[in-house]
Amino acid sequence: MADRVYPAAKPTPPPLMANGGGGPAAPKPQMYQRPIYRPQGQAKSRRGRSCRCSFCCCFCWALLVVILLALVAAAAGGAFYLLYRPQRPSFTVSSVRLSTFNLSSSTTAPVLTDSIRLTVTAKNPNKKLVYFYDDFSFSAATAANAVPLGDATVPGFAHEAGNTTVFTATITAAGVTVDPSSAGSDLKKSGAFSVAIDADTRAGVKVGSLKTKKMGIQVHCEGIKVTPPSPPPPPPKKVKGKNGTALAPAPALDNAETTATVSTAAHSCKVRVRVKIWKWTF
């Protein structure tokens, strides 16, 4: 019996015909369509750019408005200066007199009692500007160590254009305790010593019917020397007559004001404008 020979591999089927041939048609290969990439960050970046552009435009317009306002204010200020030529008022202490001076001899807490009478001359050099002042608050202190010598208040007034006003102020201190070290070096019972005088007020300007807002000013006067009054002379002794009767003594001049030295040298004062911003005053 003859042996059968089996093929080693299955026969390869014949290729199918492209156009017919009786076999089934091969399926068409499907094309893979890649989704379109749409970046999401572009819209956000465009929105950010538009916001930045609008902010820059607003900032530029605001800066332009500020510059225009500054130019208008500068032009108005220049025109006002050329038209009115504003000048600060001047104050001069024309005379000063220390009429009362008494300092206790305590080494721990000396007590001071004094009275300083001032005559102040105020001038308005402007021809068209009127100043109007609130009440003046005067204070005096020694020039070396600022030992307080008292204070006073003078009513305010309207200072007309080109006007000179003279007013007086009496600065007093009654039983004020002072520093013993400073008082011992500054205050002298005999001989002159220097004092500084300050006056604080608020002043406004009137131009025609227009009034400005009041602002603080300070009048500072320094280099003023005062001399304590001479002590009153001792009372005269009683004189006996020929028949032993006592004669009445002559009245003693115990008024210290009559023996006080008056300083007649004029002392010019400095006028400072004080501007208050929130809690600070400059």
Contact status, residue 115 vs residue 148, Cβ threshold 8 Å: no
**Integer Cα distance of 112 and 195 in angstroms:** 15
pLDDT exceeds 80 at position 92 = yes
The pLDDT assigned to 6 comes to: 53
Burial class of residue 170 in the structure, from the number of CB atoms within 10 Å of its CB (0-12 exposed, 13-18 middle, 19+ buried)? middle
User: pTM of the prediction?
Assistant: 0.65
Residue 272 pLDDT > 50: yes
Q: Which of 37-41, 167-171, 223-227 has the lowest mean pLDDT?
A: 37-41
Stretch 240-256: mean pLDDT, rounded? 52
- Residue 258's pLDDT band, with cuts at 50, 70 and 90, is very low
What is the pLDDT, as a whole number, of residue 96?
A: 92
The pLDDT of residue 274:
77
For the chain, the maximum distance between any two Cα atoms, rounded to a whole number of angstroms, is 207
Name which of 49-53, 108-112, 125-129, 187-191 the model is least confident about.
Answer: 49-53
Among 51-60, 108-117, 145-154, name the one with the lowest average pLDDT. 51-60
DSSP element (H, E) containing 207:
strand 193-207
Q: SS3 for 161?
A: coil
Q: What is the CATH number of domain 88-229+259-271?
A: 2.60.40
Q: Give Cβ neighbours of residue 47 (< 8 Å, ≥ 6 apart).
A: none
Phi and psi, residue 280, nearest 5°: -110, 145
Average pLDDT over residues 224-243: 70
How far is the C-alpha of 112 from the C-alpha of 141, rounded, in Å? 12
Average pLDDT, the chain: 78
Report the distance separating Cα 138 and Cα 219, nearest Å. 9
Band (236; pLDDT cuts 50, 70, 90): low
The Cβ of residue 184 has, within 10 Å, a number of other Cβ atoms equal to 15
